[in-house]
Structures are given as structure tokens and as C-alpha cells.
Amino acid sequence: MKYDHSETERYRVTPKTALKLSTFDPQATLSFGGDKKESQKIFENLNARLEALQELLYADGRHKLLIVLQGMDTSGKDGSIRHIFDRVNPAGVSVASFKRPTSEELAHDYLWRVEAKTPGNGQITIFNRSHYEDVLVVRVHNLVPEERWKKRYDHIKAFEERLADEGTTILKFFLHISKDEQKERLEERLADPAKNWKFDVNDLKERKHWDSYTTAYEEALSRTSTERAPWYVIPANRNWYRNLVISSVLVETLEGLGLRPPPAPEGLADIVVE
């Protein structure tokens, strides 16, 4: 079985379209029908291809890739990074995690700390959470007035448009899990001593706001998915399928950039290594 890249288009959020997460099945596996074993072979091929493309991106030096990962607690952001990028060259890939803002960051506008972490030429940067927290957590917990966070959708689109104008390719993934799946994952962290360190009591507090976060995500994805910075709603109840779909989007996107290595220095044919 081969992966049909057109399958990923089912998950791409159409610009200027009102989105309802209830229309996306977090348990979906589409063409695979739950065949985890078969998918592993395809994932390994995609993983090897991604490794080669990342090296070519680094050598080419004309492009840069920004990957945004968002999702409810336990949706698998860390796991996605660990499995999808396990073979890439660390010199060309970085991860930026955006936690509670520091006092210095709070003294600037909310995009200030994000700007500094965007990728340079030849680089891939992964945002583990991102500038979207400022229309999600901020909204759900009423941290700033509505009249302020409402304006941020346009700020964010303009920010991403500028990055795209300057050569950054942007891909945004919402890892979509069900509330029942989150419950199972939290219980697993409690039950397994090896995973106790992952458990955070604050996750239980945030879980109580599930519906509010769903509404916030729906508006954020609807209003900020664009042709040049699209959102994908990734079914994430099954980790293997989540990784497969994200890898497919990454490989397809990088293959479309026309990457090429720089020309070799002149005179190499005459060099003899003794």
C-alpha cells in the first residue's frame, strides 16, 4: 500500500470558511482502516525522504520552513516532534516552546518573543505551541479584553504573510483528539510510574474548559488558515496515523520547493586526496 497524498487535503482548512471541529473525526485513519503495521512501512519511507529533503533544504539555503503545532493538552505535540524528526540533522532543525511569558516578554507586544524564534535560511523551526496561545489561553481565561484579542487574528495573518513574503514556508497543524482520549492519556500518566513526571494537575483545570477551548480553536483556525499559511486538522487519537499524515504533508511541501544543492566548487575533478 502507498500513501495517497491527496488524503491530506481532507484535513486542510479552507480559507475564509467557518470550521466546526465536530466534523473532523479524531479517530480517523481513512485509507488505512486501522492497519498500523502497514502504515509503519510507509512512515519509514516518508521518514527517510524527510531526512534527505531536510539535508537538501539546509544545503540549498534559499528556503526556510516554519511548523506550528497546536492542540489540547496530551494531543501529542512532543511525540510528533520526537518521532517525525528523529532522523533529521539537528544542525538544521530547532524547536521553540512557548511557555508562560517572562517579565521581559510581557514588556513587549505578544509577537515579539515569537519573531526571534522564526527560522533562518536553510532551517526548519518547530513551534511547540506558538503565537496562537494569544488567541486561545488569553481568550479562554480572559487575560486581556476581548477588543484586544479580537484584533490579533489580523495581526497574526499579517505577521505570517510577511514571513511568507520573505521566503518562509509555513505549515500549521492542529492535533485533534477527543475528550475521551485525553481522559485515557491523563489516566495513563497517573497509572504508570514511568510517566508520572508528565502529569500536571493544571491539565485537569484546563480540561474543565474543553468547550471554551474548542470554540476558541474553531475561530482561530477558521480566521487564520490562508493559502500561504494553511492549517491542517490532524486526527490524533491514533499516534501512528497522526505521524503519517504530518510527515506526508511535510514531504509533499518540501518536494514542491524545487530544492537543489549549491554548485560544486570549481576544480574538484583535479583534486587528489593523498
Task: Identify the DSSP state of 72.
Answer: S
Interior/surface letters 17-34, b for 16+ CB within 10 angstroms, e for the rest: eebeeeebebebbeebee
What pLDDT is stored for residue 4 in this prediction?
63
User: Counting Cβ atoms within 10 Å, is residue 173 exposed (0-12), middle (13-18) or buried (19+)?
Assistant: buried
CA-nearest of 272, 223, 186 to 13 is: 223
Q: Are strands 168-176 and 231-235 parallel, antiparallel or unpaired?
A: parallel
Nearest residue to 4 (alpha-carbon basis) of 258, 253, 244: 244
pLDDT (0 to 100) of residue 5: 64
Q: For residue range 101-122, what is the model confidence (pLDDT) as tens digits?
A: 888 988 999 999 999 999 999 9
Share of the chain above pLDDT 90, in %: 78
What would the pLDDT profile of 60-81 be if each residue is shown by its tens digit? 999 999 999 999 999 999 999 9
Q: Is the pLDDT of residue 268 over 70?
A: yes
C-alpha cell at 197: 513526571
| CB-based contacts of 23, cutoff 8 Å, min separation 6 | none
Query: 206 and 213 in contact (C-beta within 8 Å)?
Result: yes
Of 23, 12, 46, 57, the closest CA to residue 256 belongs to 57
- Give the C-alpha distances (Å, rounded to integers) separating 225 from 23, 102, 194: 17, 29, 38
Which runs of E-coded beta strand occur in 135-236? Answer: 168-176, 231-235
Please state the domain extents for the chain: 5-257
- 79 phi and psi, to 5 degrees? -65, -40
Closest by CA to 78, choosing from 29, 117, 125, 129, is 129
DSSP per position, 158-179 = HHHHHHHHTTEEEEEEEEE--H
Confidence grade of residue 34 (pLDDT, cut at 50, 70, 90): low
pTM as predicted:
0.94
Position 2 pLDDT exceeds 70: no
Task: Select from 3.40.50.300, 2.130.10.30, 3.90.45.10, 3.40.50.720 the CATH code of 5-257.
Answer: 3.40.50.300
The number of CA neighbours under 13 Å toward the Cβ of 41 is 7
Q: What is the mean pLDDT of the chain?
A: 92
Q: What is the side-by-side strand order in the sheet with 64-71? A: 93-97, 124-128, 64-71, 168-176, 231-235
Distance CA 90, CA 187 (A): 33
Spatial contact of 260 and 56, defined as CB atoms under 8 Å apart: yes
Q: List pLDDT tens digits, range 120-164.
A: 999 999 999 999 999 999 999 999 999 999 999 999 999 999 999
